[in-house]
């Protein structure tokens, strides 16, 4: 973990992915999981120990070696307390790194509305009220069957164009921010978090939000033009 001959490149990698509605990690961060990174590291250390148990000490006089007194590398290592301490130190660093990744990942949960919220319900609220309602406002509307006192912005099917502009600007700005996210982050020097898949999924979600409002705006313009055409046709008659 530490002595890597001045090579600062991380030696392990964990992938962060969005599998709606949750964020997952491969290998996972659960210290008790048999498919987690802790279990993988412990198995790797066990394999190293087992390799030492299979290797004979080189500095032995072959004619004097018998099956009863043959010495393996593990015989030299198993009674050394510093080896046990080193293994404990490695596992502690692994667990600390995973905890840091867990905290780092929680910072992205402020964007969870992008994949959790119902997009069509959000669009309906924005078209009716000019914005999305708070949870308390939404509950009040449901409880009072639309008589909570929250005023719609109009009586028509579509809101003013300024409402579309506000929403599109918000999501386009957010898209620019996400493009600036770091794809990789290194923890404790040896463990890299690969967020490429997560970042790609979040950008895909934002694109869906942008398309949602663009398509509704297009329908608004198309219907308005059709109404204008119908009016002109009637006027000619």
Query: Does residue 126 lie in a domain region?
Result: yes
Residue 192: phi, psi to the nearest 5?
Answer: -105, 135
State the average pLDDT for the chain. 87
Residue 129: pLDDT band with limits 50, 70, 90:
very high
Query: Does residue 24 lie in a domain region?
Result: yes
Residue 142: pLDDT band with limits 50, 70, 90:
confident
Query: Does residue 207 lie in a domain region?
Result: yes
Query: What is the 3 state secondary structure string of 66-134?
Result: CCCCCCEHHHHHCCCHHHHHHHHHHHHHHHHHHHHHHHHHHHHHHHCHHHHCCHHHHHHHHHHHCCCCC
Report percent pLDDT > 70 for the chain: 85
* End-to-end Cα spacing for the chain: 85
Residue 42: pLDDT band with limits 50, 70, 90:
very high
Query: Does residue 19 lie in a domain region?
Result: yes
Q: Which domain holds residue 183?
A: 12-236
Q: Any bridge partners for residue 186, and if so which? A: 192
Position 68 scores a pLDDT of 60
* Total structural domains within the chain: 1
Report percent pLDDT > 90 for the chain: 59
Average pLDDT for 163-176: 97
Query: Does residue 3 lie in a domain region?
Result: no
Neighbouring C-beta atoms of residue 184, cutoff 10 Å: 11
Position 51 scores a pLDDT of 80
Reply yes or no on whether the pLDDT at 139 is more than 90: no
Position 33 scores a pLDDT of 94
Instruction: Report residue 227 as tokens.
Output: 């109404």
Query: Does residue 5 lie in a domain region?
Result: no
Query: Does residue 109 lie in a domain region?
Result: yes
Query: Does residue 1 lie in a domain region?
Result: no
């Amino acid at each position: 973990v530490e002595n890597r001959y001045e090579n600062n490149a991380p030696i392990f990698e964990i992938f962060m992915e969005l599998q709606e509605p949750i964020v997952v990690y491969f290998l996972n961060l659960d210290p008790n999981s048999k498919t987690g990174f802790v279990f993988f590291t412990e198995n790797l250390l066990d394999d190293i120990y087992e390799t030492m148990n299979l290797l004979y000490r080189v500095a032995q006089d072959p004619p004097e070696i018998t099956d009863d007194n043959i010495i393996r590398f593990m015989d030299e290592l198993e009674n050394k307390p510093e080896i046990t301490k080193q293994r404990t130190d490695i596992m502690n660093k692994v667990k600390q790194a995973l905890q840091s990744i867990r905290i780092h990942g929680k910072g992205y949960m402020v964007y969870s509305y992008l994949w959790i919220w119902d997009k069509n319900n959000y669009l309906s609220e924005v078209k009716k009220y000019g914005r999305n309602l708070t949870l308390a406002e939404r509950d009040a509307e449901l409880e009072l069957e639309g008589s909570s006192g929250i005023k719609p912005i109009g009586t028509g099917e579509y809101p003013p164009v300024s409402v579309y502009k506000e929403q599109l600007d918000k999501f386009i700005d957010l898209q620019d921010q996400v493009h600036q996210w770091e794809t990789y982050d290194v923890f404790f020097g040896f463990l890299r978090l690969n967020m490429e898949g997560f970042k790609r999924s979040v950008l895909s979600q934002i694109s869906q939000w942008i398309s949602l409002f663009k398509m509704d705006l297009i329908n608004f313009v198309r219907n308005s033009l059709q109404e204008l055409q119908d009016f002109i046709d009637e006027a000619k008659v």
